[in-house]
Chains A and B, each alone.
Chain A
Amino acid sequence: MAVLISERVLKPTVSVQRFDPQTDTKPRFESHAVEVAERASILDALFALQRGPIPDLAFRFSCRVGMCGSCAMVVNGREQLTCSTLVKSIGPTLKIEPLRNLPVVRDLAVDLAPFFAAYQKTLPHFTPRADLDPKEFYRLPHDRPEWKALNHQPQCIDCAACYSGCTLVTLRPRYTGPMALHRALSLIVDPRDSRREERLQLVSQEDGALRCHTLGNCHDVCPRGISPTQSIERIKRMAILAPFRRWFGRSRPSKPAANAA
């Protein structure tokens, strides 16, 4: 627990990384005691620094309700979605660093370009099946295998916490990473999409799903409670079964008849 001053105020010591790769040779830390409300988030503590001792601190945020995935940082050694984690859940001292495995733009803000570049290699966009009726909503009754096969994990907010926490990304920067693979699965099992097999092949390569050593760091750090590992395991199983399924002609979903309203 953080030091409780009165019932409603905490006074944690917050130490933040300062670094401008254009002018500094290495990062340094700047530390201040700030006053925040009892239910303040880590992001609130950064706003307190911004109002007072470090007005030009660089960090990212937008929604402040855990939906945009802009505000992930490493706090006391672990990835956190800073808008959605209370200061008091961390303790009286906070050491805040930018995400790992990504270049720093300034201070606590990283450049997500490599993360999204890896994502873009997985055919991440939806491509409708030619026989999908554009005027209807594809029928997906909950008691049918097609529904059950969907990726029913919580929605990913592309915050890159998993990318930062993944040891394999550190060791092999070419590795696609947990988020991209997890999201690829969502389209691979989407019966409305036409490029499922192509995508499955693309992501079950050496730099894709096969690279994962099921360490599960991604799940540990995911603020949405997603287990990318589980999705990656499914991709691996599907990749092994794909040739057989092709053989038995089962890789196509049920007939367009299912599409009637």
Chain B
Amino acid sequence: MSDTLTTDILILGTGGAGLMAALHAHWRDPAQKILLVSKGMLGKSGCTRMVQGGYNVVLNENDSLQAHFEDTVRGGSFLNDQDLAWTLVEDAPRIVRELENKIGCLFDRAPDGRVHQKAFAGQTFDRTVHVGDLTGIEIMSRLRDQVFAASIPCLEYTRGIELLTSRDGTRVIGAVLLDIQTGEFITVKSKAVILATGAGPLMYQRSACAQEKASDGVAMAFRAGAHLMDMEMVQFHPTGLVVPGSRLNGALLEEGLRGAGAHLFNGKGERYMTRYDPDKMERSTRDRVSRAGYLEILSGRGTENEAVLIDVTHLGAEFVERNFTGMRDRCLRIGSDLARERVEVAPTAHFNMGGIRINRDGFTNLEGLFAAGEDASGVHGANRLGGNGVAESTVYGARVGECVAGWVRDRPHDEPATDQVLAAQSAADRLLARRGEENPFIVRDDLGKTMWRKVGIVRDGPKLAEAVSDLRILRDRAERLGISGGRRFNLSWQQALDLANLLTAADLIARSALTREDSRGAHFRSDFEQTDNAKWLCNIYVARDGDGPKHWTIPVKLDKLRP
């Protein structure tokens, strides 16, 4: 069969959430055995590594937690769980100081020596700390160094493929893993499992995210019976690069550019934001700026590459070179000089606001299952502010780690049922054995197109219904994949596994989007253009019911701020 490992705390994912969870669990109780699992390399995988702009946190005496909270909730169109949003802003100052003073990140300083906080779009105060415009490299490598120092073991290039549950299905007691490099399965018995796989809207044709992510955590949690929430809320970032025929297509130009005063032009040279948000213009929230760009392109006012243009040249070439070195390099690589010319951009799928329902300490509805970071939901509501993502993953990673280290004490291990383990293994093995006519990479592309066109930035009932049936066809095609090669480090087998989870998550997104008959934040329905607070100020939940999903709604608790 396969190896069986036993641990107290199993953490799937090694982004900001996973590593903060591991460190905080270890610091709280070094006696607990922790096992980290990464689909890529430790410190080098996931989106936290790709964080560019920075980290929102209230540090200045002229700023306030209340202001950060209100920005977050207004930005989220009041769909946020206010308890979770408040916890984010309240914990962020402590956690960012911990990153600086205990973990060792050295955030940028202003000339007077104080920590520098830059402007981000959608916010009332300049509160984003950063390391140049490539902040994630610093945060992830310093976190990795502390994980090394704490000697917390990590299985790299290993992915969780299924959660293991107790017989009655109410408790999570471990997981089945697949070592990508050897192709061997590993069964892990664990008192607690923390999902920190970073979700990721990679089922869209243009996406900014780390390429190995595939909504694995959300799909596994769904299959195990976890409650998910706000799945329809997918964030599109307005300024993704346009590089047809390259994976660089959809890669981000960071938020700070708009924060610093970037202008956006359509193909006819008009500053089109005047038509969409004349007050805030380009510094409006991501949902509005994305929708504006999308509509410009759709109505034929884009460039010939179906893009709009970002312009920072008026800020001065020297300013851009100094403050946006990373972004300029990225553009230079494809032959455009951001400091001196306009660069083609278009919206790109960026972030899942929806995901697993948690409380402030990362508990889910299943005993033993915890979640943090992008896998979770509720913090951002219908739209995430730039700079609140890495704050979420580090704040909630820390909280769940801290809490779980206490929670697992004196709990017994459960013995996984052999048939469950074998079922997970043979499901994966069946994919490897597929000899059909469909190329997994092409099915994946077609999924991307369907989601982009029918479950994208501007949605409507008929298109969403079509998407649901298209997804059924794509699932059938995924049954007829042809996979060649062996078990060891076979990326086309991995692609087949990714595809299965992406199809699951895509279906949940499309159905939730069909359910929500109003427009709010990132979710825009051209057949229900208004935000309908009377009827739709509620979260859409979904959980597995037999083989299909079951939806229900619960009104948002507005105990701290009302629209």
**Residues on A facing B (Cβ under 8 Å):** 8, 20, 22, 36-41, 43-44, 47, 50-51, 55-70, 83-84, 86, 105-107, 109, 112, 116, 120, 124-126, 128, 132-144, 147, 150, 154-158, 187, 190, 192-193, 261
Report the Cα distance A64→B142, complex, angstroms. 21
Q: Is the CB of A55 within 8 A of B484?
A: yes
Residues from chain B with Cβ under 8 Å of A133 in the complex: 101
Residues from chain A with Cβ under 8 Å of B109 in the complex: 137, 139-142, 147
* Interface positions of B from 428 to 485, Cβ below 8 Å from A: 439-442, 483-485
Q: Is the CB of A106 within 8 A of B181?
A: yes
Q: Does B490 contact A (CB under 8 A)?
A: yes
Q: Does B549 contact A (CB under 8 A)?
A: no
Q: Does B113 contact A (CB under 8 A)?
A: yes
Known: A37-B246, A65-B330, A157-B137. A137 touches B104 (CB 8 A): no
Partner of A50, one of B98, B112, B211, B491: B491
Report the Cα distance A64→B40, complex, angstroms. 13
Q: Is the CB of A105 within 8 A of B211?
A: no
**Residues on B facing A (Cβ under 8 Å):** 40-41, 43-46, 49-50, 59, 97-98, 100-104, 106-107, 109, 111-115, 131-132, 134, 136-138, 141-142, 145-146, 148-149, 181, 210-212, 243-248, 251-252, 325-326, 329-330, 333-335, 439-442, 483-486, 488-493
Q: Is the CB of A51 within 8 A of B41?
A: no
Q: Closest Cβ of chain B: how far from A29's Cβ, in Å? A: 18
Known: A22-B488, A86-B333. A44 touches B246 (CB 8 A): yes
Q: Is the CB of A70 within 8 A of B40?
A: yes
Q: Is the CB of A65 within 8 A of B489?
A: no
Can you spell out 19 A-B residue pairs with CB atoms less than 8 angstroms apart?
A37-B245, A38-B245, A39-B246, A39-B335, A50-B441, A55-B491, A56-B485, A56-B493, A59-B491, A60-B40, A61-B211, A64-B247, A68-B210, A86-B334, A107-B489, A124-B145, A139-B114, A141-B113, A190-B104
Residues from chain B with Cβ under 8 Å of A107 in the complex: 489
Q: Closest Cβ of chain A: how far from B37's Cβ, in Å? A: 15
Partner of B45, one of A62, A84, A106: A62
Residues from chain A with Cβ under 8 Å of B251 in the complex: 64-65
Partner of B113, one of A40, A140, A187: A140
Residues from chain A with Cβ under 8 Å of B113 in the complex: 139-142, 144, 147
Q: Is the CB of B329 within 8 A of A137?
A: no
Q: Is the CB of A67 within 8 A of B137?
A: yes
Report the Cα distance A221→B107, complex, angstroms. 27
Q: Is the CB of A137 within 8 A of B243?
A: no
Known: A67-B134, A141-B112, A261-B114. A44 touches B247 (CB 8 A): yes
Q: Closest Cβ of chain B: how far from A184's Cβ, in Å? A: 11
Select from chain A the residue with minimum beta-carbon distance to B141.
Answer: A158
Q: Is the CB of A56 within 8 A of B181?
A: no
Q: Is the CB of B247 within 8 A of A83?
A: yes
Report the Cα distance A154→B103, complex, angstroms. 20
Q: Is the CB of B489 within 8 A of A109?
A: yes
Q: Is the CB of B489 within 8 A of A41?
A: no
Partner of B111, one of A112, A116, A141: A141
Report the Cα distance A144→B210, complex, angstroms. 39
Report the Cα distance A62→B13, complex, angstroms. 14
Residues from chain A with Cβ under 8 Å of B41 in the complex: 60, 62, 68, 70, 112
